[in-house]
Amino acid sequence: MSVSRIAWLALPALFMTGAPVLADPLPDANEMRESVVRIIVETDGGGASGTGFIINNHRIIVTNNHVVQGATSIAIGFMAGGKPVTVPARVVDTNPDKDIAIIEAASDIFGEPVVLANYQTSPPMTVTAVGYPGAADEVPGSNVASVLLEPSYSVGTVARVLPNVANVGGDTLIQHTAVINHGNSGGPLFDACGRVIGINALTIEPSEASSYAQGIFYSIDVRELLPMFEENLIDARIATKPCTPGLEARNDVPPATTKEAEAVAFDRFAACVNARPCDAEICKSRYQRRVSSELAGGREADVSLRMTAAAPLCTQQNETEAFAQFQSCAEENACDFDAQCGPKLEQSLRPDVMNKRRPLFDRIRAKAADECKQASAPGIWRAGQTQENIWTARIFNDSGAALIVTCVVGGDNSGDGALEVDDAAGKRARWAGTRAVQMTIDDYSEPLRLDLEVAGNSLVAGLLHKETEADRGWFKDLLGKLTVGGVLALEEPKVGLDETFSLDGSKDALAPCLNAKFASRQADSGEASKQ
């Protein structure tokens, strides 16, 4: 494998804790979810996030080195009791060459320790990647914490195993087809028995020279971790017998047969119910799996008491999450409040709870109405970072059309950008296509080629420009012209596109775009990107 550039996206029996036992026919997806945490880091260059997985009950988590490298602060994010929780963490040990890091949470975290697979992986076994791809955060409304901390699953197969790959410190890499993206870095790759066989790290991305590079993903063989565990005296659950789907246990821990061991299992059951009251049945079945039937029978009254107490807590959790999603909806869809946000909340809450929240509901509705009115007011530039390294500036004119400038202000694609005119005059599908539009900024005038597309009853005009070495700085030059004039006019008589925008304040709104550095980019066919 040629890995010319790696860029960010984000043992012995000594470690055995028990022999494999018979259990569920399929891996427990909830235990997978509870084994995975989101890692949020701050660096001198800004914020980023990745994925990690829990090794033991002593707050130990594994991730990729590139997720935490250069971090000025590290936090672990997870859900407990329906509420988002973040816990500070520190680096315990790293191996930059192998791209592996071990970190430790500053306080207890809720979750299931994974079982590591200390055996040879071979194709075409089924695998599941679990993690937090950043692209999934862009779904409307997904800035709700409960969504941001809910991991994504991706299923595929092992394609091949590559031993001793020089580009990554001699690691053994597992090539597979379970899709991973930026943000999956450091997350686990599970086999069909729910054991971790790899640490998700790399993908080969299509480039101008190799557009055929699709569906190629790499995980670091989890056995690369074991020497680091031995050096740092870290215990882990490890299975040495290869996976036989339908026969192997998820946790590889024999049922408890002593009161002391049962007490530990019950404490984990109680913590599970408190942290995830809506998953109380899952917590119960997991407890019953982990202790002998005789010991479980002796705890039946205690288990029932915990289950009864969980019901109202689950209702409260669902209502809290519904209201949080409603607030997010109101912030992001102020002009569609009555169509999208209000009715959904009314359906999610019981009438008595809705009545209690009615005063706050009315205040949020009034605020949304004001924001909607302000958002479409003509002549006022609105600008801000809409996602990491992406800056967007928007202005409306008197006819309700919007001039939108989007630019990349950081990272490898810094300097790229797009110019769009949304809700422009012109309502006919036959006008769609690429057309020369005359752009006039005060005394400056030149033809501008826009791609016109029909969107509903509107005509959307867009110019997408990607920087190359041949035309470096073209988009910045265009933005510079926008900041010097007072009025921008776009006209295309045959289409009926005739829109005028006041550019007052554009210099401030577009300043981050003008300050963006135009970075050179590589187009190697073997270019790899860390996830």
Percent of the chain with pLDDT over 90: 15
Whole-number Å distance between alpha carbons of 218 and 121: 13
* For residue 187, pLDDT beyond 90: yes
Tell me whether residue 527 is in a domain.
Answer: no
Domain identity same for 198 and 302: no
Mean pLDDT within 230-247: 80
Residues 16 and 62 in one domain: yes
Same domain for 136 and 238, yes or no, is: yes
Name the residue among 49, 51, 11 with its Cα closest to residue 32. Answer: 51
Q: Quote the tokens at residue 152.
A: 């994504």
Residue with more model confidence, 381 or 28:
381
Residue-level pLDDT at 144: 53
pLDDT higher for 189 or 426?
A: 189
Range of the domain at 272: 260-373
- The model's pLDDT over 123-160, given as tens digits with 9 standing for 90+, comes to 888 999 998 887 666 654 444 555 677 788 889 999 89
Domain end position, chosen among 373, 397, 429: 373
- The answer to whether position 292 is within a domain reads yes
What pLDDT is attached to residue 166? 73
Lowest mean pLDDT among 111-120, 299-308, 469-478: 469-478
User: Is pLDDT larger for residue 477 or for residue 434?
Assistant: 477
Whether residue 526 lies inside any domain: the answer is no
**Which pLDDT score, from 0 to 100, does residue 448 have?**
76
Is the model's pLDDT at 207 over the cut of 60?
no
> 219 and 89, same structural domain?
yes
Close Cβ partners of 281 (under 8 Å, ≥ 6 residues apart): 307
User: What is the pLDDT, as a whole number, of residue 208?
Assistant: 44
Among 10, 345, 309, which residue's Cα sits nearest to residue 144?
345
What's the rounded mean pLDDT across residues 329-357? Answer: 83
The crossing angle, in degrees rounded to 10, of helices 300-332 and 351-375 is: 30
Indicate whether 181 and 74 sit together in one domain: yes
Say if 523 falls within a structural domain.
Answer: no
pLDDT at 10: 39
Exposed, middle or buried by CB within 10 Å (0-12, 13-18, 19+), for 446? exposed
pLDDT tier, 468 (very low <50, low <70, confident <90, very high otherwise): confident
Task: Give the residue-averaged pLDDT of 10-25.
Answer: 31
pLDDT, position 223: 92
In a domain, 1, yes or no: no
Instruction: Tell me, yes or no, whether 191 and 244 share the same domain.
Output: yes
Cβ atoms within 10 Å of 435's Cβ, excluding its own = 17
- Percent helix, strand, coil in the chain, to 5, is 30, 35, 35
C-alpha torsion angle, residues 92, 30, 80, 38 (rounded to 10):
40
Predicted confidence at residue 446, as pLDDT, reads 77
Q: What per-residue confidence (pLDDT) applies to 212? A: 55
Q: Is the pLDDT of residue 21 over 60?
A: no
Q: Under a CB-based contact definition with an 8 Å cutoff, are residues 202 and 218 in contact?
A: yes
Does pLDDT of 28 surpass 70? no
pLDDT at 147: 62
With beta carbons less than 8 A apart as the criterion, state whether 473 and 517 touch: no
Q: Do residue 126 and residue 188 come from a single domain?
A: yes
What pLDDT is recorded for position 54?
Answer: 92
Please say which residue of 327, 345, 373 terminates a domain: 373
- Beta bridge partners, 309, equal none
Tokens representing residue 408 in the block: 């990349």
Structure confidence at residue 226 (pLDDT) = 92
Q: Which tens digit of pLDDT belongs to each residue from 469-483?
A: 777 778 888 888 888
Q: Is residue 452 part of a domain?
A: yes
Last residue of a domain, one of 373, 404, 434: 373
Asked if the model's pLDDT at residue 5 lies above 50, the reply is no
Number of domains in the chain: 3
Q: Mean pLDDT over residues 69-96, rounded?
A: 85
Q: Is residue 294 in a domain?
A: yes
Whole-structure pTM value: 0.55
189 and 284 within one domain: no
Q: Give the C-alpha separation, 149 to 146, whole Å.
A: 5
**CATH code assigned at 194:** 2.40.10.120
86 three-class SS: strand
Say whether both 323 and 183 belong to one domain.
no
* 401 band by pLDDT with thresholds 50, 70 and 90: confident
Locate 363 and state its tokens: 């205040």
Residue 14 has pLDDT above 50, yes or no: no
Asked if 333 and 473 sit in the same domain, the reply is no
Token duo for residue 137? 């955060």
pLDDT of residue 74: 93
Burial letters 147-161, b for 16+ CB under 10 A, else e: bbbebbebebebbeb
**What pLDDT band is residue 93 in, cutting at 50, 70 and 90?**
very high
Asked if the structure places residue 43 within a domain, the reply is yes
Same domain? For 270 and 203 the reply is no
Same domain, 361 and 486: no
Sign of CA pseudo-dihedral 256, 258, 264, 269: positive
**Among 39-43, 129-133, 205-209, 324-328, the least confident range:** 205-209
